[in-house]
């Protein structure tokens, strides 16, 4: 069980909430460094688990991408019950879920999409083809250092089914007319050296959404896990500047 992935709420003092959702196979701890940084600017940040995550790997065998959208819906409503204004966002699948929610609801105050794939790199492990009889994919924690080792805690035996669920969510977002329904403010972050989400994803999201207030933050080198590496400092600074244009909290 991923005890280190209990959901965490960091209280700020500016009266605005943010829900942050991690990437596939990981847990809410992945968003804690970014959540704490946003708290320093006054935001109350809830780092939440995707449906089926943060417990046991077998739970993902029973969890669909629609379940994940429902969980994001619930998490947003819980935060909205306590704050007049709430943003929702996340990394990779977390960003995709935030966009899917905004496409289905007209009351989302804003979205923060980070490394959200509209297209997967065909060479990445998520995009791979696996034998029908294979249930789990092994990916150990070796090689992780510093912040990534402490917070990017994933299942080492990952149910392959969850890769298909992410692909189903991506397919939904690529359905004509879905992203076009997103008309709330959106911040999109994309690294051009991303090896999970094809780098064209960020610009494609930017072009398709209907939001009058949208911003594309592209950087040459930050990788896929931008909130976990040195790229998080520039990322958070840009997010906070964007949020300040929305809310005027820091001015």
125-148 pLDDT per residue, tens? 899 889 988 988 887 766 656 565
Q: What are residue 137's DSSP bridge partners?
A: 158
What is the rounded CA–CA span in Å between residue 197 and residue 209? 18
CA atoms within 13 A on the CB side of 165: 25
Domain count, the chain: 1
Percent of the chain at pLDDT above 70? 92
pLDDT digits (tens, 9 = 90+) for 46-80: 999 998 877 777 888 889 999 999 999 999 999 99
Cα first-last separation, the chain:
44
Q: Quote the DSSP letter at residue 48.
A: E
What is the rounded CA–CA span in Å between residue 45 and residue 24? 20
What is the rounded CA–CA span in Å between residue 148 and residue 145? 6
Phi and psi, residue 61, nearest 5°:
-70, -15
What is the rounded CA–CA span in Å between residue 102 and residue 110? 8
pLDDT at 148: 54
Question: Residue 214: is it exposed, middle or buried by C-beta count within 10 angstroms (0-12/13-18/19+)?
Answer: buried
Whether 64 contacts 163, CB under 8 Å: no
Read off the tokens for 4.
């280190």
- The stretch 199-216 carries a mean pLDDT of 98
> pTM value?
0.92
pLDDT digits (tens, 9 = 90+) for 18-37: 999 999 988 888 899 999 99
Confidence of residue 213 (pLDDT cuts 50, 70, 90): very high
Confidence of residue 1 (pLDDT cuts 50, 70, 90): very low
Residue range of the domain that includes 204: 3-247
Q: Cα-atom radius of gyration of the chain, to the nearest Å?
A: 17
pLDDT digits (tens, 9 = 90+) for 82-102: 999 999 999 999 999 999 999
Q: What is the DSSP string of 90-118?
A: EETHHHHHHHHHHHH-S----EEEES--S
What is the rounded CA–CA span in Å between residue 244 and residue 65? 32
Q: Quote the DSSP letter at residue 153.
A: -
CATH of the domain at 16: 3.40.50.1820
Q: What is the DSSP string of 212-236?
A: SSEEEEEESS--S-GGGSTHHHHHH
CA distances from 114 to 61, 134, 226 (A): 26, 30, 8
């Amino acid at each position: 069980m991923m005890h280190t992935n209990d959901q965490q709420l960091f209280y700020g003092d500016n009266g605005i909430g943010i829900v942050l959702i991690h990437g596939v196979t990981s847990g809410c701890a992945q968003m804690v460094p970014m959540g704490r940084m946003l708290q320093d600017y006054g935001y109350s940040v809830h780092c939440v688990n995707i449906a089926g995550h943060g417990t046991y790997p077998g739970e993902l065998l029973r969890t669909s991408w629609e379940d994940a959208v429902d969980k994001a819906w619930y998490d947003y409503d819980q935060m909205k019950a306590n704050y007049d204004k709430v943003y929702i966002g996340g990394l990779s699948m977390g960003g995709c879920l935030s966009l899917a929610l905004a496409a289905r609801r007209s009351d989302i105050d804003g979205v923060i999409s980070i490394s959200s794939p509209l297209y997967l790199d065909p060479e990445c492990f998520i995009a791979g083809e696996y034998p029908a009889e294979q249930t789990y994919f092994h990916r150990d924690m070796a090689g992780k250092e510093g912040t990534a080792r402490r917070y990017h805690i994933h299942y080492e035996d990952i149910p392959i089914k969850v890769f298909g669920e992410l692909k189903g969510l991506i397919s939904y977002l690529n359905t004509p007319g879905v992203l076009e329904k997103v008309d709330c403010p959106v911040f999109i972050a994309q690294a051009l050296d991303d090896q999970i989400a094809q780098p064209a994803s960020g610009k494609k999201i930017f072009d398709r959404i209907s939001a009058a207030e949208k911003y594309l933050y592209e950087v040459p080198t930050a990788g896929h896990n931008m909130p976990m590496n040195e790229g998080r400092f520039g990322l958070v600074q840009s997010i906070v500047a964007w949020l300040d244009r929305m809310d005027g909290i820091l001015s």
